[in-house]
Amino acid sequence: MFTGIKIHAPGEISRQHAKRPLLIVLAVFALLCLGQTLCLAEQDGSEVTELKQKAQKAFISAHYDEAVTAFLEIAQKHPGSQARRYAVQMLGTIYENNLVDTTKAIKWDREYLKRYADQRQVPFYKEKIDRLTNVVKAANQEEAFKTYQNIKFANKGDAYLVRKYEELLKNHPDFLYKADVERELGYIYARLDKPKKSYAAFQAVSSQSHGLKLSSSDRTASEENLRYWKMASEGGMIAWGVIALLWAAVLMMKPWEDLTWASIKKIRIYVVVWLLLIAASLPFFYNMENEGVKFVIHDTMIYTAAALNLTILFWLLLLVRGKFWQTRPRTLRWVSPFLTLLMTVSVFYLFMVYQPHGPEIMEVFAVKYRYLKGELHERHQ
């Protein structure tokens, strides 16, 4: 009946009663310590938050000395605060990029690497510190590095960057960050629609024996610019050759000898029909602009394309009246569509490839065409 009752010895009961006051004292002491810690954290939290906001505001306003002062106060006077990690990281960034003090940048980067960097950040910060250390040790590199940072963060546009970066490389051919400069030039030249120079800049990066190497995105950009350059140079030469050959072939057949006023009047009908087709296609281009296509086709480009097509119509009018076809009407019916298509493709290839960012526009159109083709295919299934 009494199996659930535990009977203690008299000595054991006295020992348990002796432990209770000690446990209560320890619990009260722990609660007091926790409360004091929370109070201090709350007090420091408001001060640190205010300093952090002040530093951020100064940094955004480009008042870097004020930002450094606030971040230094966080880092030195509040070592246990959570904001110190951010402050240490920003001190390294500001001293490297804006105030360009490499010695202090190395100091705070090392602090961040030692106390806060995670596994993914460790290789980056180690390489960063090594490169800055090499700048400090090497002769005449600190001046070049300061010039480089001032150019990079000047916010004065691509034309300014190109001019200043080229001057920097000319004045400091042994600059330790030369690969970084070449890489940035590669992207700037791409934005300025200079694919040949962009490709050459990326190739210069890959040929550097030290410094930055091409990443996967860099290689992609380099290959794109090489392709765009070839489209404009090699493809353009082929298109010019085809056009010259087709015009020479037509003129050699002396089509004007068979040209009459009645045949010239027919071209008016072709012109009217073509202009109506262009007018009907304008909503399509406007719709592309509303859909957020990267490159916008302006009205002037559409009108220019329409005018170019009129020259193709005039060439076709001369083609069908060549003496060579007078005894070969069946051959003309088979060959003229192919030659007209060849002339049209060549003319519009040149028109597009010489537009600003023309090769990229052509690729966008190719993607759009494949998309529309896929949609039509799905609807018919």
Q: What is the CATH number of the domain that holds 109?
A: 1.25.40
How far apart, in whole angstroms, are the C-alpha atoms of residue 220 and residue 301?
29
Based on the structure, what is the number of domains in the chain? 3
How far apart, in whole angstroms, are the C-alpha atoms of residue 235 and residue 193?
17
DSSP 52: H
pLDDT, tens digit (0-9, with 9 covering 90-100), for 3-45:
444 444 444 444 444 445 444 444 444 444 444 444 434 444 6
In terms of Cα–Cα distance, which of 156, 234, 157 is closest to 195? 234
Which residue range forms the structural domain that includes residue 166?
141-214
Which of 109, 137, 165 is at the close of a domain? 137
Check whether residue 235 and residue 376 sit in a common domain.
yes
In terms of Cα–Cα distance, which of 115, 120, 41 is closest to 75? 115
How far apart, in whole angstroms, are the C-alpha atoms of residue 104 and residue 334?
78
How far apart, in whole angstroms, are the C-alpha atoms of residue 67 and residue 51?
9
Check whether residue 103 and residue 244 sit in a common domain.
no
How far apart, in whole angstroms, are the C-alpha atoms of residue 141 and residue 175?
7
The model's confidence at residue 146, banded by pLDDT at 50, 70 and 90, is: very high
Q: What is the DSSP string of 3-46?
A: TTPPPPPHHHHHHHHHHHHHHHHHHHHHHHHHHHHHHHHHHHHH
pLDDT, tens digit (0-9, with 9 covering 90-100), for 334-346:
999 999 999 999 9
The model's confidence at residue 57, banded by pLDDT at 50, 70 and 90, is: very high
> Minimum mean pLDDT among 82-96, 178-192, 307-321: which range?
307-321
* Residue matched to tokens 């602009």: 289
Check whether residue 167 and residue 126 sit in a common domain.
no
In terms of Cα–Cα distance, which of 113, 116, 108, 135 is closest to 124? 113
Q: Is residue 14 part of a domain?
A: no
Check whether residue 315 and residue 201 sit in a common domain.
no
Check whether residue 127 and residue 179 sit in a common domain.
no
Check whether residue 202 and residue 236 sit in a common domain.
no
Check whether residue 276 and residue 365 sit in a common domain.
yes
Which of 162, 186, 214 is at the close of a domain? 214
CB 210 within 8 A of CB 179: yes
Q: Which residues have C-beta within 8 Å of that of residue 312, sequence separation ≥ 6?
A: 340, 343, 344, 347
Q: Which residues have C-beta within 8 Å of that of residue 302, sequence separation ≥ 6?
A: 278, 281, 282, 285
The type of residue at 308 is: L
How far apart, in whole angstroms, are the C-alpha atoms of residue 372 and residue 241?
32
Alpha helix stretches (DSSP H) within the chain:
10-60, 64-77, 83-97, 102-115, 122-137, 141-152, 158-171, 178-191, 195-206, 216-252, 261-290, 299-319, 329-353, 358-380
pLDDT, tens digit (0-9, with 9 covering 90-100), for 258-316:
777 776 777 777 778 777 877 776 676 666 555 555 666 677 777 788 788 888 888 98
Check whether residue 198 and residue 248 sit in a common domain.
no
For the whole model, what pTM was predicted?
A: 0.74
